[in-house]
Amino acid sequence: MKITNGIVLELAKETGFDLVGFSKAEILEKETAQLEEWLSNNYHAGMSYMARNVEKRKDVRKILSNAESVISVGLNYYNKGEFSGDGNYGKVSRYAWGKDYHFVMWEMLEELTSKLKSMDENFESVYYVDTGPVMDKAWAQRSGIGWLGKHSNIITRQLGSWIFLGEIITNYKFSYNEPQPDFCGTCTACLDACPTNAIVENYVVDSSKCISYLTIENKDEIPNEFLGKFENWIFGCDICQDVCPWNKKFSRQTGHPGLKNIKNKELKIDEILNMNNKEFKSKFKDSPIYRAKLKGLKRNAEFIKKNDS
C-alpha cells in the first residue's frame, strides 16, 4: 500500500505525536554555514560532539543514501506548575520533570516507523531524537512545525516551544510543507530576561554562558562569574522560554502519561549534597537528570549554595 502524507499524519497522531511536518531531503547549506560560524566562535563550549559529523548534519543522504524526505514530529511536554520559591530547593527545567524524553520518543518513533513499514515493505527509515547527527531544528522549521526563536528553541504556533523534536529520514517521497515563517517580530523578551546574557545576539546562544549548558553537559566547575545569577536552577533553565509570549498564550498541558507524571520539579539541595550513587540511581534512572551524573548534580547544588552564602 502506498504511504501518503495523510496516512503518516493519521498514524503519527494515533501514536501520540502532536505535530508532524514533511521536508524534502535537501542539503542544508544555510543552516550548516550558521552551525560552522557558531562552532568557530566556540559557542558549543565543551560539547565537542557538535563539531563532529558536520557532513552528515549537512546532508542526511550521508546517513541514509537513498533519502528523499525528512518527517519531523513534535511532542508536547508542557506541565503546568509553579516553583515553591523555597531557597532550600533547586529548580529543574520543565523538560526533566518526568520520564526521560529519549525513552518516550524512541518508543513512539519505533512504533510509528514499524506501522509504516508494515504498510509498505519498501519504506526505509532511520530516526533520531536529539542525539543523532541531524539538525532537528532546521528540519522542524523547514517542515512547517515551527520557527527558530531568538532564544534558539523551536516555537510552534499551536503549543509554544515546549516540544520535543524527532526526525524520520526516509526513502519515501511526500508532498512537502512550506517552511514556517519567523513570528518573533520586534520582541526581545528572552534576550532581556536571560540572567547570564547567554543570548549573545538574536538566534545565537553562547553555551558557555547558558545555565542549561553549565548545569547539564558541562563537565567542569561552574565559573564564579555566574555567582548570583543562577536563580536557583539546579538542572537546566527555562527563563527564556517562560517569558516568551508564545508560551504564555499557547502552552497546553501534555497528555502523555510518561511526561505528565511529575516527579522532579524541584530538588532539595541538602538531599542532593548528601546523596550516594545508589540513591541517585534509584531516584533518577528514568529521568533526564541521570545524564548529569551525581557528580554534576552535586556541583550544581554546591554552586547554588555558594550563591546564597
130 is catalytic: yes
Under the rule (CB under 6 A), what is the footprint of ligand SF4? Answer: 149-151, 155, 184, 187-190, 194, 196, 198-199, 205, 210-212, 237, 239-240, 243-246
- State in angstroms the smallest separation of the CB of 244 from ligand SF4: 3
Please identify, using beta-carbon distances, which residue of 13 and 252 lies nearer to ligand SF4. Answer: 252
- State in angstroms the smallest separation of the CB of 122 from ligand SF4: 41
- The one catalytic residue in 18, 86, 100, 130 is 130
Beta strands 89-92 and 233-235: pairing type? parallel
Which residue's beta carbon is nearest to the bound ligand SF4? 149
Residue whose C-alpha is closest to residue 172's, from 266, 40, 70: 70
Please identify, using beta-carbon distances, which residue of 9 and 243 lies nearer to ligand SF4. Answer: 243
- State in angstroms the smallest separation of the CB of 193 from ligand SF4: 6
Please identify, using beta-carbon distances, which residue of 108 and 205 lies nearer to ligand SF4. Answer: 205
Residue whose C-alpha is closest to residue 76's, from 250, 266, 289, 286: 250
Residue whose C-alpha is closest to residue 216's, from 307, 128, 308, 299: 299
- State in angstroms the smallest separation of the CB of 111 from ligand SF4: 31
Place of cell 554534576: 296
Report the b/e string of 181-204 with b at 16+ CB within 10 A. eeebeeeebbbeebbbebbeeebb
Please identify, using beta-carbon distances, which residue of 246 and 303 lies nearer to ligand SF4. Answer: 246
| Burial class, 9, CB count within 10 angstroms (exposed 0-12 / middle 13-18 / buried 19+) | middle
Please identify, using beta-carbon distances, which residue of 176 and 213 lies nearer to ligand SF4. Answer: 213
Distance CA(23)–CA(176), nearest Å, equals: 5
Given a contact cutoff of 8 angstroms between Cβ atoms, the answer to whether 142 and 235 are in contact is no
Q: What's the grid cell of residue 89?
A: 530547593
| Burial class, 177, CB count within 10 angstroms (exposed 0-12 / middle 13-18 / buried 19+) | middle
What is the separation of C-alpha 55 from the centre of its chain, rounded to a whole number of angstroms?
Answer: 22
- State in angstroms the smallest separation of the CB of 230 from ligand SF4: 9
Please identify, using beta-carbon distances, which residue of 169 and 222 lies nearer to ligand SF4. Answer: 222
Distance CA(284)–CA(98), nearest Å, equals: 10
Catalytic residues: 130
